[in-house]
Structure 1
Amino acid sequence: MSEDPRIIQFDQAVRLRKESTDAIIDYWNDHSLYLSLEYWMMVGILVVPLIFLVFKIDKSKIFLIGFFGYSVHIIFAYFDIFGINNGLWNYPFQVIPALPSLSLDSSIVPVSFMLIYQWTLNHDKNFYLYSIIVAGIFSFIFKPLLVALGLFRMYGVINYFYLFVCYVVVILAAKLITNIFLWLQKRPLKIFNH
C-alpha cells in the first residue's frame, strides 16, 4: 500500500521546518550569540519590564490587567509567528533560539499595554487613544531603534506602517476578548450555570 502523497509532502515540510530551526540554533551557537551585547540587550528587554510590572501592577485589579496582558501576549505571539514563518521579519539575536520573539512577545509589549490599560482604568482615560499612541511609539520609534541596533530585521514589503497596523489589531483584539469576558462575568450564560 502506498502512502498518501499529501502526507509525504507534509512530512517533507515538517523536516524542512526542523532543518530551518536547527540552522537558527547552529547560527546562535556558531557565533556564541549568548556572549554578545545584542543578546544581553534582548535579555534586558525580556527581564526589566517584568520586574517593573511586579512593582507597578495594581494588585486590586491584577486578574483583569493580567488577563488583558495575557491576551496581548498570545495575539502578538501569533502575529510574530506568522511574520517569522512567512519571512516578513525576524530577530537575529534571540534569548532562546527556538523562541525567536520571546523578549517582545512575553515582556515589553504586553507589559507596556498592561500598564496603559491599568492607567486608563485608574484615571478614567480613553484606552484606545493612549494605546494607539503607544502602538505608534512601538512602530515608529522602538522598532526603528531595534533595526538600527541590529536586533530586528524586516523583509519584503513590510514597513513600519504595517507593523503599526499589526499593533493596533492586537490591541483591539485583546480589548475585545477582555470585554467579552467581563460581559460574561456579569451575565453568565445559562449553559455555564449547570
Structure 2
Amino acid sequence: MKFTPFFSLLLMITLYSCSSTNDVKQSFTDLCSAAENQAFDELPAMVTTGSLQYLNTIIESARTDNETEMLHLGHSSERPLMTMMLFQQLVNELRIDSTSLDGVEAPDLLSAFTFLGTGPFQPGLQLDDAMSTSSTTANLYVVVPTGGKVSILSTYQYELEDGRWKVDFPSTLEVPEKVLNQSFKKSGLGIRTYVTRYLNINPEEMEFRYRY
C-alpha cells in the first residue's frame, strides 16, 4: 500500500507515541524495581538532572540553615511544604549531630527515600492507563494508595535526557503536598513553623537513613 506524505507522517507520529509511552512506563517500572532490590547505585541515573540539583540544594541549605533559599526552591518546584519538610528534617538532624550530613549528597537522599516510601518509592503504586507524551516530556499518571479504600491519581513528570526517560522527583511529591496543604491552610502558621510542629508530632515520617 502506498501512503500519501500526510498519512506517512501521521503513521510515524503514532508509532513514535506508542514507543515513547512504553519507554516511559518501563522507566517507572525500572525505578520501582531498583528501589525494591536496593540497587541504590542505579537510582541517580533514573531521575532528572534538575531533581539531583533540587536535592543537593536542600542539603546545602540545611548545612547553613538557609530558610530563604528553601522558600524560593519550594515556590519554583511547586512543592513548598514538602521542600521545607525535607529541609527541616535535615536541619533537625544536624542539631542532634553536627556531622550527620558529612559526605551526604543527592544520591544518598534517594536511597533514604526508598526506606521512607517517599514519592515514587511508596509501596502499592499502580500505573493508570492514561498518559500524555511529547518529544521530550511526558506525564505519567500514577494511582497512589492513601491507606484506606480511596486512592488518588498523581501526575509524575518525565523528561527525556541523554536518550533516557527520567522522572522529575519533585513532581512525585504531589499527593503528600496536597495532604499537608489541607491542614496547613487551617493552621494559620508560617510554612516553617507549621512544618517544624508537624515533624515534632510525626518524627518517624522523615527519619532518614543514609548509610547501610
TM-score range, shorter chain: under 0.3
User: If the length of structure 1 is used for normalisation, what is the TM-score?
Assistant: 0.27
Give the structure-2-normalised TM-score.
Answer: 0.26
